[in-house]
Chain A
Amino acid sequence: MRGGLPGLIVLLLALAGAGAIHMNAPPPAPWSDDELKAIQSLSLSALPPLPSDPSNAVANNPVAQRFGHRLFFDARLSANGAVSCATCHQPSMRFADDLPRAVGLAIGTFNSMSLVGTAYSPWYFWNGRQDSLWAQATSPLESAIEQGVSRAQAARLIAGDPTYLAAYQALFGPLPPLPGEAPETGQEEAAVTEAFVNIAKAIAAYERLLLPGETRFDRYAASLGQDEASAPDAQLSHPETEGLRLFIGKAQCINCHNGPLFTNHEFHNTGVLPAIGALPDKGRAEGVRLILKDSFNCFSAHSDDPDKNCLELRFMRTGDDLVAAQKTPSLRNLKGTAPYMHAGQIDTLAEALAHYNRARDAIVGHNEAKPLGLLPYELKRLEAFLSTLDGPLATAPEWLAPP
């Protein structure tokens, strides 16, 4: 048996070596057909073309896009001359900000939502209290804690700026007589509202250009089924792919964060605590009440849609179970849009994942999420996967800076 011991050592070393290789680079388990289907459903390649907005006649008009671009960055559209749309929706922060709650003229109640891909949504704001991009744009302009301009002040800004006036007239015709301009006709208020709505429609035309671009996850999804060597930069790490597996499986994230924008555009109560010192928010229950009486909703005379089909609004769900339900946000560019939740209550992605893993009873209404029982290494893998959802915008660079 001479040589037996060295032989054994060699064998053990070989096994150890094989083990080390295995531990360093485990072969990714093949995806099942259902998993592949789920992965492709999340991929940017599954994103349909931007839906038309018949309520906004200038939604795709290049003059309106340029006009809206200027208005978006124009702080003259505020009571103190210092707040624009871009104050809370900053291009460098994926058109959100890094604050828990929006700060315009004062500190607001809600976390600023990213505008990237928002034109796909049937509902706006965390509680969905408005139902078109242009209607949404009217609210911060008038809000006393955001921009705080009156409709007449906004119209006067257009009247007093030759570039704006030319764009306005090209798009909408002559600016109506403003209050205080003789002779008074009694129609000034309606005319000013019309001008204000037109300003919002131009801003919406610009915001429709803000679309999500390809991420590492999208490149990986596109590479599946292809030779690995043909797309060497499309690979995800082992923790990232295993995080993806959890995302579409055991962790149930895909239930609500589904489709290529990682949102079902719906409202869910997930037991998020109110911001410290704040009362619990009524969420979608309040949103439903507000949208029905909103003078700029889909049924409104300010909509340019002659049909007023308004499917989402006509068949909107109502009911008590919507209390404290908030809109599912997109997870694209998640890393760059911290802090999280409707009032920025959660600082980090790890804490957000821990929140869903615990799924404690809601203090108002009913938490739809159930405890997941994920282990710490699984939460880390999920976090690793979510970091693959950052990417540039699919928007020409000239739109991403002030004009």
Chain B
Amino acid sequence: MNALFPLLLLALSAGLPAADALAGDAWPTPNPDNAQVTQFGRYRISYASALEPIEINRIHAWVAQVTDADGNPVVDATIRVSGGMPEHDHGLPTEPRVTAYLGDGRYLIEGMRFHMSGAWHVVLKVKSGTGEDSLSIPLDI
């Protein structure tokens, strides 16, 4: 129980369910080798989609793994998700958000959906003790 306490505290402080509560779900694991550096270099973010390849019109989840510039997991990040199709001047058809912290700097993002084929970008705005920064991920769907 004592061993679990810090984890519980962490989960409560983030306002998110602990990873244990989601143990039944097999979320994908991002490959850190594919990490992209945020705009001002504060974070490195890799992501994996639970729907692979990503198809239009299907709601699905992503996992984003966030480390600092030295590769240490960021455990206290607040991540805001936005995006859209620059060519069509519109945003995402849903409002995805982080719903759980999965441990080791990994955050579960639920509610991703793309409703057209073409060039998209997904923007992750990260805020933590390390500072604020963002990453725009280009996608061709």
Interface residues of A (CB under 8 A from B): 38, 41, 122, 254-256, 258-259, 264-266, 311-312, 314-318, 321, 368
Given contacts A264-B57, A315-B59, A318-B95, contact A368 B110 (CB under 8 A): no
User: Can you identify 27 A-B contacts, CB atoms within 8 angstroms?
Assistant: A38-B117, A41-B117, A254-B117, A255-B88, A255-B117, A258-B57, A258-B115, A258-B117, A259-B57, A264-B57, A264-B93, A264-B115, A264-B116, A266-B93, A311-B59, A312-B59, A314-B110, A315-B94, A315-B97, A315-B110, A316-B95, A317-B93, A317-B94, A317-B95, A318-B95, A321-B90, A368-B88
**B97 cross-chain contacts in A, Cβ below 8 A:** 315
**A38 cross-chain contacts in B, Cβ below 8 A:** 117
Q: By the criterion of a CB under 8 Å from any partner CB, how many residues of chain B are at the interface?
A: 19
User: CB within 8 A of A316: which of B88, B90, B94?
Assistant: B94
With the chains together, A259 CA to B94 CA distance in Å? Answer: 18
Q: Is the CB of B115 within 8 A of A311?
A: no
Smallest CB–CB gap between B93 and chain A, Å?
5
Smallest CB–CB gap between B122 and chain A, Å?
14
Smallest CB–CB gap between B54 and chain A, Å?
13
18 other A-B residue contacts (CB within 8 Å) besides A122-B59, A311-B111, A312-B94: A41-B117, A255-B116, A255-B117, A256-B115, A258-B56, A258-B115, A258-B117, A259-B57, A264-B57, A264-B115, A264-B116, A265-B115, A311-B110, A314-B110, A314-B111, A315-B96, A317-B92, A321-B90
Contact with A along B63-98 (1 / 0, CB 8 A): 000000000000000000000000010111111110
**A122 cross-chain contacts in B, Cβ below 8 A:** 59
Contact with A along B90-114 (1 / 0, CB 8 A): 1111111100000000000011010
**A317 cross-chain contacts in B, Cβ below 8 A:** 91-95
User: CB within 8 A of A315: which of B91, B111, B115, B116?
Assistant: B111
Q: Considering only CB atoms, which chain A residue lies closest to B89 in the complex? A: A368
Smallest CB–CB gap between B49 and chain A, Å?
15
Q: Is the CB of A256 within 8 A of B59?
A: no
Given contacts A254-B117, A258-B117, contact A264 B56 (CB under 8 A): yes
With the chains together, A318 CA to B97 CA distance in Å? Answer: 14
Q: Is the CB of A266 within 8 A of B92?
A: no
**B96 cross-chain contacts in A, Cβ below 8 A:** 315
Smallest CB–CB gap between A235 and chain B, Å?
26
Smallest CB–CB gap between B95 and chain A, Å?
5
A-contacting residues, B1-52, CB 8 Å:
none
With the chains together, A187 CA to B113 CA distance in Å? Answer: 42
**A316 cross-chain contacts in B, Cβ below 8 A:** 94-95
**A315 cross-chain contacts in B, Cβ below 8 A:** 59, 94-97, 110-111, 113
**B115 cross-chain contacts in A, Cβ below 8 A:** 256, 258, 264-266
With the chains together, A311 CA to B115 CA distance in Å? Answer: 15
Smallest CB–CB gap between B80 and chain A, Å?
14
Across the A-B interface, give the 8 residue pairs with the lowest CB-CB distance, nearest first: A315-B111, A264-B115, A315-B94, A266-B115, A311-B59, A255-B116, A266-B93, A317-B95
With the chains together, A38 CA to B115 CA distance in Å? Answer: 14
**A254 cross-chain contacts in B, Cβ below 8 A:** 117
Q: Considering only CB atoms, which chain B residue lies closest to A261 in the complex? A: B57
Q: Considering only CB atoms, which chain A residue lies closest to B114 in the complex? A: A264
**A368 cross-chain contacts in B, Cβ below 8 A:** 88, 90
A-contacting residues, B114-141, CB 8 Å:
115-118
Q: Is the CB of A258 within 8 A of B116?
A: yes
With the chains together, A122 CA to B110 CA distance in Å? Answer: 16
Smallest CB–CB gap between A311 and chain B, Å?
5
**A41 cross-chain contacts in B, Cβ below 8 A:** 117
With the chains together, A38 CA to B90 CA distance in Å? Answer: 21
With the chains together, A391 CA to B71 CA distance in Å? Answer: 57
Q: Is the CB of A265 within 8 A of B57?
A: yes
Q: Considering only CB atoms, which chain B residue lies closest to A328 in the complex? A: B115
